[in-house]
Amino acid sequence: MIEVAADPAASAMSVAMSDTADRLRLTEIFCSLQGESRTVGWPTVFVRLTGCPLRCGYCDTAYAFHGGDWWSIDAILSEVASHGVRHVCVTGGEPLAQKRCLPLLGALCDAGYEVSLETSGALDIAPVDARVHRVMDLKTPGSGEVSRNLWANLAALGANDQVKFVICSRADYDWARDVICRENLASRCEVLISPSHAQVDPTALADWIVRDRLPVRFQLQLHKVLWGNQPGR
């Protein structure tokens, strides 16, 4: 038998690729109160992944579009555990833009956390672990990204999920109301409506919802009420 010597360069490349395959690029990990969705008010560890293919006009996390640091899934789990709370929110950016987001979500669920995912609705949510509470945006015309909505995602929504509309104007509200009724969204999952910060008067939006008896949950961003636009809060 002829033994062929291993190529050191190829071996090093294989190790490097294997190492990279288990990592995600993160902008930050921090503990705060959940400001939105059905877990609002709970102490929560936020795992903010870097990068997003969308550019919504009202985005308040543009600092997560670029940069970040590489973290292994084990390192993320260790950091999450150090905060000592049971709620974890994986957010972005757009977390599903990184392929390793899916095994990260599964690992967090396996570790016993109550896990939520905040996603833009532009990427396929079907492969997400069924134990994860998916909070999915439907982008309104006022966001500037309505064309990026992946409407096939609606079929994947279930009772454990929520769909969210951020309202930038009365026209956005009318559009959202029509979508909610046409797609019968309230029968699929819980529906959230919130005003875009400094663009729509929250009282006016609340009045529209009550007047139309719209089957949605009105919400304000609690973290902005408490801390404004401070990163990491």
> pLDDT, tens digit, for every residue of 121-179?
999 999 999 999 999 999 999 999 999 999 999 999 999 999 999 999 999 999 999 99
Structure confidence at residue 48 (pLDDT): 96
In the chain, DSSP finds a helix count (H) and a strand count (E) of 6, 9
Alpha-helical (H) ranges within the chain are 8-21, 73-82, 101-110, 170-182, 202-212, 222-227
From the list 102, 103, 83, 94, the residue with the least C-alpha distance to 42 is 83
What pTM was estimated for this model as a whole?
0.86
Contact 115, 109 (CB under 8 A): yes
Q: Is the pLDDT of residue 11 over 60?
A: no
Distance set, CA 176 to CA 169, 171, 180 (Å): 11, 9, 6
**Domain-embedded: residue 16:** no
**Domain-embedded: residue 34:** yes
pLDDT-wise least confident of 10-14, 42-46, 172-176: 10-14
Distance set, CA 62 to CA 36, 57, 212 (Å): 19, 10, 34
From the list 29, 65, 63, the residue with the least C-alpha distance to 48 is 29
What six digits make up the tokens of 136?
A: 């999915």
Distance set, CA 17 to CA 10, 21, 22, 61 (Å): 10, 6, 9, 30
Comparison of pLDDT for 56 and 60, the residue scoring more: 56
**Domain-embedded: residue 12:** no
What six digits make up the tokens of 140?
A: 């309104």
**Domain-embedded: residue 100:** yes
**Domain-embedded: residue 232:** no
Q: How far apart are CA 14 and CA 213, in angstroms?
A: 59
Supply the CATH number for residue 82's domain.
3.20.20.70
**Domain-embedded: residue 164:** yes
Cis peptide before 112 (omega within 30 of 0): no
| Residue whose structure tokens are 């966001």 | 143
Q: How far apart are CA 160 and CA 44, in angstroms?
A: 18
**Domain-embedded: residue 10:** no
Contact 48, 62 (CB under 8 A): no
**Domain-embedded: residue 233:** no
Query: Which residue type sits at 33?
Result: L
Number of domains in the chain: 1
Q: What is the C-alpha radius of gyration for the chain, rounded to an integer number of angstroms? A: 20
65-112 tens-digit pLDDT:
999 999 999 999 999 999 999 999 999 999 999 999 999 999 999 999
114-124 tens-digit pLDDT:
999 999 999 99
Domain that holds residue 218: 23-227
